Chain A
Amino acid sequence: MSYAALHLPALPLTSLLAREQADPACPAALLSSGKREKSAILFLNEAAARHDLSVGMSTTRALARCPDLVLYDADPTLEASAKVEALELVDSFTPDYEVTGRDIFLLDLSTVLFASPEEWLQRALEEGRRLGLPLNLALAETPDLAHLAALSARTSSTLRYRPKSEIRISSEASSLHQLPLSLLGRSSAFPLPQADLLELWGLARLSDLVALPRQGLAERLGPDLARLHDILTGKHRRLLQLHRPTQGYHTTHQFEPPIAGIDPILFMARRLLQVLCQRLASHQRAAESLHLALSFENGAAHSRHLRQSEPTLDPDILLRSLHTHLDGIQVPAPVTECHFRLSATLPRHSQHQLFQRGLKDPHQFADTLKRLSGVVGIDQLGIPQPAASYQPGLFELHPLEADLKFTPSEEPVLPSGRLPMKRQRPPLAVHVASEKQGRHPRPLALLTGPHQGTIREARGPFPLSGSWWEAAWQQSEWDIELPKNLLLQVTHTPPHDWHLTGVYG
């Protein structure tokens, strides 16, 4: 079952009845425009049809047959808004659909996953309750067979209001050929030439037409009848003229009842993001970022803009980014509603460099960067660069983007020495035995700290100072050698403070 047809029987009338909250058992009809005396019936509800009324009948004649008939004038605005709502409903099922008529939609379900046709029909009709209108929904192997099946309540699954909503799942698609031949007249998509002749021949049902030999039918009554024969036998499979609405890539889901954890959000997000990504793909666009908005039961709200490392159409990548974000937030109350909006952009097409290796999966790396930020802190990772300052230990940490774009400073900073140092952060206060030598004391031995002992050799002092105009600092550095070839850097800050600042090697 690759196609579905959704039919809103007598949409102009049922939308009026829904607005008026009229009793479904009360016969009602929609009239053509013009004077009441000259007007005719355009649509009837099921209660009116039981009074032997038919479409096209004059108003006076209809009232003669059914004095209780309630007459309505058309409301184009209401009909248009009902159709927009119906389009939104259909679009939530699949982005690939055709607006075949004013009240019928054909859906391509080849990209939709469902456990069984009955399960999908049940779910779709339950979703359809939000329209408040009667629905016929039918599944078939070809678009035209689905269309035909949806025209009749006998061969389709239905949603009706009597006055409460009732869902009936029908699996009688095989009984399609038992429908009357006059059913073809209900839709302009199935023109039936020479209907009178067929009636004279005694053909009453679709099965009668199917039973005729196609070759003879084509020779005697023309190619239109042959095409109709092909449709009814499932040999004709046309392409849908897909409808592409001009709307944003966003969707909202309300949780009833509100949910406590993040797992149901992720479960729902997978489905919603899949639909949004399909919609983007059909417009040759990709998602640049995902905007998430959550509403909580206590009235609080949470929103976050999740920028992707590069445009994507993969719902799993968006879901992974969403999962990482939701893992890190505290949910103050049960979630009542979630809203997702994708920002569309052109997909990126970049050619891989032949002699340069790039990241295997930038999306995965972006996700890993977020997780690393969660472990150590967002300001604790990146590409370091020595700061242009004489103050020891100063550096800048540039955040690493997923595309690895990093521009080093124009003036390169050379290493401070031939032997690099491991820096003690923060500097460790130590007691040092020293002797006065000029302006700076010379260290003789480390008395406290992890590395105590007599200093075999010392190199220094290297006096440093700066920022005299605001927070002045001044110190002198010494490189010292302890027994067992231990090379350390100690710093003297006047008047008496000594710190162990690093270990060489």
Chain B
Amino acid sequence: MKISQIADLRKQLQEQFPGAHRGFVEEPEDLSFDPASLSLPGGSLNEVVAPGLCSGASLMISELLGQERDLPLALIDGRDSFDPVSYGSEKCGRVFWIRCREAMQAIQCADLLLRDGNLPLVLLDLHLTSERELRRIPASVWHRFRAEARTSGAALLALTPRPCLPSPHSRFTLSSTFTLAHIERESPTLRTAAAATPAAAQS
């Protein structure tokens, strides 16, 4: 069966049985993504997946630091890769940077900050973490984080190379591509390949 036939069949089924397709939102690919529109309610776990090395993870952090906040954003740097020179002194003044050497150290720090709940947004950067280290993180960690976040009211945003969190409140996949021209001349923009709606993410 051809792909076009499958698409037609899916469309007919969706029209015939709309209730069966509730929660499924077909996203057009390669949407422009504005982190300011990102909803991070207190007590929630969220995930931004950056599958490639240059798919916009650093730009995402930069956009988050560009937002005005009363309290600093806690950045748990899983591979000690944050470069203050790239962000400038103004954005750096809004981040509380914790330099970790390995993933489990970052998990411990996230645990402490979520339990504490004084900083409303905790950004756990596991983007450069190796697959081997990611596999070592037990799934129970994320369930514990969810319980701690609910209690303390802090929100967690995990930046990962592949989907790691079970049932996050929201999950976005970055698909930006950049060229050398973006480093100095052109304004880089974040793009997302697929955005999971909260309803779909929790189902």
> Which residues of A pack against B, CB within 8 Å?
356-362, 364-365, 368, 371-372, 375-376, 380-386, 392-395, 397, 400, 404, 406, 408-409, 412-425, 451, 457, 459, 479-481, 484-487, 502-505
Contact = CB atoms under 8 A, between A and B. Distances in A.
Contact of A376 (B85, B88, B99): B99
B84 A386 contact: yes
Contact of A368 (B70, B85, B95, B116): B116
Given A365-B118, A420-B59, A485-B178, A359 B71 contact: yes
Interface in B38-87: 52-59, 61-62, 70-72, 79-87
27 contacts: A360-B118, A368-B113, A371-B112, A376-B98, A384-B84, A384-B97, A385-B84, A392-B85, A406-B93, A412-B89, A415-B86, A415-B88, A418-B185, A418-B187, A419-B178, A419-B183, A420-B86, A420-B87, A422-B83, A422-B127, A424-B81, A486-B54, A487-B180, A487-B182, A503-B54, A505-B59, A505-B178
Contacts of A486: 52-54
A486 B85 CA distance: 21
A502 B83 contact: yes
B26 interface: no
A418 B186 contact: yes
A6 B91 CA distance: 65
A417 B184 contact: yes
B105 interface: yes
Of all A-B residue pairs in the complex, the 4 with the closest CB atoms, nearest first, are A505-B54, A420-B86, A357-B70, A415-B88
A381 B97 contact: yes
| Most chain A Cβ neighbours within 10 Å, of B81, B84, B177 | B84
B95 A383 contact: yes
A470 to B, nearest CB: 22
A418 B112 contact: no
B92 interface: yes
Contacts of B59: 419-420, 505
A505 B176 contact: yes
A450 to B, nearest CB: 9
A295 B98 CA distance: 35
Interface string B115-159: 111111000000110000000000000000000000000000000
B54 A364 contact: no
A381 B99 contact: yes
Nearest to A459: B180
Contacts of B70: 356-358
A400 B109 contact: no
B90 interface: yes
Given A422-B81, A481-B179, A383 B92 contact: yes
B180 A481 contact: yes
Contacts of A404: 71-72
Given A383-B93, A419-B188, A479-B183, A376 B82 contact: no
Contact of A372 (B61, B95, B98, B180): B98
Contacts of B177: 485
Nearest to A371: B112
B81 A385 contact: no
Nearest to A360: B118
A367 to B, nearest CB: 8
Contacts of A364: 116-118
Contacts of A421: 58, 83, 86
Contacts of A382: 96-97
A365 B98 contact: no
| Most chain B Cβ neighbours within 10 Å, of A380, A421, A422, A459 | A422
Interface string B180-202: 10111111100000000000000
A317 B117 CA distance: 16
A423 B83 contact: yes
A72 B98 CA distance: 73
Contacts of A380: 98-100
Nearest to B181: A459
| Most chain A Cβ neighbours within 10 Å, of B83, B96, B184 | B83
A505 B182 CA distance: 9
A412 B59 CA distance: 20
A160 to B, nearest CB: 54
A365 B90 CA distance: 24
A106 B54 CA distance: 76
Contacts of B95: 383-384
B155 to A, nearest CB: 14
A422 B182 contact: no
A505 to B, nearest CB: 3
B108 interface: yes
Given A393-B83, A420-B59, A422-B79, 19 more contacts: A358-B71, A359-B71, A368-B118, A375-B105, A376-B105, A380-B98, A386-B89, A413-B85, A413-B88, A415-B88, A417-B184, A419-B58, A422-B57, A479-B183, A480-B180, A485-B178, A504-B58, A505-B59, A505-B176
Given A412-B88, A413-B89, A420-B62, A487 B99 contact: no
| Most chain A Cβ neighbours within 10 Å, of B57, B88, B115, B128 | B88
Contacts of A414: 88
| Most chain A Cβ neighbours within 10 Å, of B79, B80, B98, B180 | B180
Contacts of A480: 180
B146 to A, nearest CB: 19
Contact of B56 (A381, A386, A408, A505): A505
B73 to A, nearest CB: 11
A379 to B, nearest CB: 9
Contacts of B119: 365
Contacts of B89: 385-386, 408-409, 412-413
Contacts of B52: 484-486
Nearest to B62: A420
Contact of A365 (B53, B83, B108, B116): B116
Given A358-B70, A385-B92, A408-B89, A504 B178 contact: yes
A364 B117 CA distance: 9
Contacts of A386: 84-85, 87-89, 92
Contact of A395 (B72, B85, B113, B182): B85
